[in-house]
Amino acid sequence: MATNQNAYGIGVVTVIVALVASSVFYQEYYLPESNAKPQVDEHILNPTGATVIDMIIGSANQDQVDNFVPKLVNIQLGIDNNVTWTNSDDTAHTVTPDHRIADSYSGEFGSLGVVKPGENYEFLFTESHEIDYHCEPHPWMTGKIIITKQRF
Please, what's the b/e burial string for 41-55 (b: 16 or more CB within 10 A of its CB; e: otherwise)? eeebeebeeebebbb
Of 44 and 135, nearer to Cu ion (C-beta) is 135
Residue 57's nearest CA partner among 69, 73, 45 is 69
Is 44 one of the binding residues for Cu ion (CB under 5 A)?
A: no
Is 93 one of the binding residues for Cu ion (CB under 5 A)?
A: yes
Is 135 one of the binding residues for Cu ion (CB under 5 A)?
A: yes
Is 134 one of the binding residues for Cu ion (CB under 5 A)?
A: no
Smallest gap from residue 65 Cβ to Cu ion (A): 15
Close Cβ partners of 59 (under 8 Å, ≥ 6 residues apart): 66, 67, 68, 89, 91, 93, 135, 138, 141
Of 51 and 111, nearer to Cu ion (C-beta) is 111
Q: Which of 95, 121, 125, 138 binds Cu ion (CB under 5 A)?
A: 138
What is the contact surface with Cu ion in residues (CB under 5 A)? 93, 135, 138, 141
